[in-house]
Amino acid sequence: MRLKLPLLLSFLFIPLFGFAKDNDRFARIILFTPSEAEPPEDFKVRLGSLAIKTEAIFSKSFVQWERSVERKEIFARSDDGTVKVTLVKGNLLKAKGMAALPELRKKAIAGATKQLGLKAGDASVIWWIFYNYPEVKGFQGGARGSSGVAINAYPKGDDPIGIETELAEGSLADMSIKGTIHEFGHALGLPHIGPRPGLKLGNSLMGPINKVFWRRSGTSDVRVYINEASIAALWKHPIFRKEVTPSPKAPAKIAVVNLDVTEAKDGKSIVIKGKLLARNPAHSVIALDSEPGRYGDYWARSYVAGIDSNTGTFEISVTEPFKKGTLFLAFAFDNGLTTSDGKRSFQQGSSIEIPYTTIKGRREFQR
Q: Mind listing the pLDDT tens digit for each residue in 115-154?
A: 999 998 888 899 999 999 999 999 999 998 889 999 999 9
Give CA–CA dist 142/138, Å, rounded: 14
Same domain, 353 and 259: yes
- CATH number at 261 reads 2.60.40.10
Q: Which domain holds residue 298?
A: 254-365
Residues 221 and 260 in one domain: no
Question: What does the alpha-carbon distance between residue 320 and residue 169 come to, in Å, rounded to a whole number?
Answer: 28
> Do residues 334 and 187 both lie within one domain?
no
pLDDT at 109: 97
Q: Indicate if the pLDDT at residue 252 is higher than 70.
A: no
Residues 103 and 140 in one domain: yes
- Please say which residue of 212, 240, 268 terminates a domain: 240
Same domain, 194 and 260: no
Do 186 and 280 fall into the same domain? no
Same domain, 185 and 132: yes
DSSP letter, residue 124: T
Q: What's the rounded Cα separation, in Å, for the pair 162 and 230?
A: 23
Residue 16 resides in a domain: no
pLDDT digits (tens, 9 = 90+) for 149-203: 999 999 988 778 988 999 999 989 999 999 999 999 999 999 999 999 999 999 9
Contact 304, 330 (CB under 8 A): no
Same structural domain, 182 and 275? no
pLDDT attached to residue 263: 96
- Per-chain mean pLDDT for the chain: 91
Span 265-294, mean pLDDT? Answer: 95
Whole-angstrom distance, CA of residue 305 vs CA of residue 307: 7
| Residue after which a domain boundary falls, among 240, 275, 300 | 240
Picking from 22, 11, 17, 85, the residue whose alpha carbon sits closest to that of residue 241 is 22
Reported residue count of the chain is: 367
**pLDDT per position as a tens digit, 9-52:** 333 333 334 445 678 889 999 999 999 999 999 999 999 999 99
- Calculate the alpha carbon distances from 182 to 56, 206, 214, 227, 267 in Å: 14, 6, 17, 12, 34
| Final residue belonging to a domain, choices 240, 272, 301 | 240
Total domains present in the chain: 2
14 assigned to some structural domain: no
**Cβ atoms within 10 Å of 30's Cβ, excluding its own:** 27
